[in-house]
Amino acid sequence: MQRLIRSILLIAALAVSGSVWAQATPAGQADEVAPAGGATAPPLPKPDETNAQRSKSQPGNNAPFWRGVRNSGNQAGVVSLPGAENGVLIQQFVQYPGSRVSTAGEAWRQVRNELILPYGGALMLIAALGLALLYWGKGPLGGHETETGRKIERFTAFERAAHWANATAFVILAVSGIVMAFGKYFLLPVIGSTLFGWLTYALKNAHNFAGPVFAVSLIVVFLTFIRDNFPRSGDLAWLVGGAGVFGKEVPSHRFNAGEKVVFWGGVFLLGGLAVGSGLFLDKLIPGMEYLRGSMQVAHMIHSVAGVLMMAMFSLHIYLGTIGVKGAYQGMRTGYVDEAWGKENHRLWYDDIKAGKIPAQRSAAPRSAPAAAAPAK
């Protein structure tokens, strides 16, 4: 009992002494460093004391220095390394009304963590769920026409090489981008920090090397397929008709309206934004001044364009593999059956049968199937 009473009195004495000390300490002195080892604390510096005097009275207390750096805005110091912003320790100080943002770097961090990641992740999950429901509800589309055995060349060897080079680079960029952006939420708890660190390091380098390959192949793909992706008659009817999902396939030319939307919206617009911002982030554009603010804006553009591209191209990949019967065969071998062309791209098939488009556009190798002859 006596020990308990002594303990209570000791705790009460410490609480009272702490309260008295807090009341006696002036405001703004919370960051003062107390000397170690129980030594007598040095006298508190006066408000007009310089940093040099304070460094002598309280060695190791760098709080005043960092307050000065923070409040100096974008003022540059003296450094020996070359660079436009190497002398600026903290990015320009900003304060938006009604926000808790204190620096431009903090603004970029909030946009990334509170807007791009949650909404971008939700968009990709919604796209994946929508494709799963489409496959579960409708299954593979097409396959209603009986194959004839007569083949039409849909893609030449050059067209397929350009497409597969671009597709391979895109898959590397997409997988590495997903792991770097979202991996800490679903992969880090599973494989641990050590393996996750090595994985993200390897994927970051793969991302940087695949980026230029994707940029070059994207230009080749754009120039190769632009001729057949201009709007034509029948495109609006294809969109209004439900793209063949809710009924019979609407006649279309070599590429239907949906493929043209992917071409102009995904390849040209989003692809151009992703490539341009990616090359800027890699500092591969000559003559540019790579500042922190411009790098942050480029990162936001790159992230948004990348997420939208992955959502859009996921539909393209689905329809080109398991979503439409016979579509993957055309990109793998270059040839489709005459019945497939008649069912899925009727206007393109009619032009071939009328002799407006050759059924065989490249020199046929010995192993190539016999092309369909035009109607007489």
Which tens digits make up the pLDDT trace of 248-262? 778 999 999 999 999
Residue 33, number of CB atoms within 10 A of its CB: 13
Contact partners, residue 330, CB within 8 Å, separation at least 6:
154, 155, 336, 340
> What pLDDT is recorded for position 181?
95
Mean pLDDT of 9-17: 43
> What pLDDT is recorded for position 364?
62
> What pLDDT is recorded for position 325?
92
Interatomic CA distance for residues 151 and 154, integer angstroms: 9
Residue pair 218/275 in contact (Cβ under 8 Å)? The answer is yes
pLDDT band per the 50, 70, 90 thresholds, residue 72: low
354: buried, middle or exposed (CB in 10 Å: 19+, 13-18, 0-12)?
Answer: exposed
**Domain 158-353 belongs to what architecture?**
Up-down Bundle (1.20)
Q: Cα dist. 50→31, 57, 166, 213, 239 in Å?
A: 16, 11, 61, 56, 73
Residue pair 280/273 in contact (Cβ under 8 Å)? The answer is no
Residue pair 211/282 in contact (Cβ under 8 Å)? The answer is yes
pLDDT tens for 325-343 read 999 999 999 999 999 999 9
Residue 333, number of CB atoms within 10 A of its CB: 16
With residue 221 as reference, give the H or E element that holds it: helix 188-225
> What pLDDT is recorded for position 89?
74
Domain ranges of the chain: 158-353
Mean pLDDT of 71-98: 68
pLDDT tens for 186-206 read 999 999 999 999 999 999 999
Lowest mean pLDDT among 39-43, 156-160, 295-299: 39-43
pLDDT tens for 115-145 read 999 999 999 999 999 999 999 998 898 888 8
Residue pair 75/84 in contact (Cβ under 8 Å)? The answer is no
Interatomic CA distance for residues 99 and 177, integer angstroms: 29
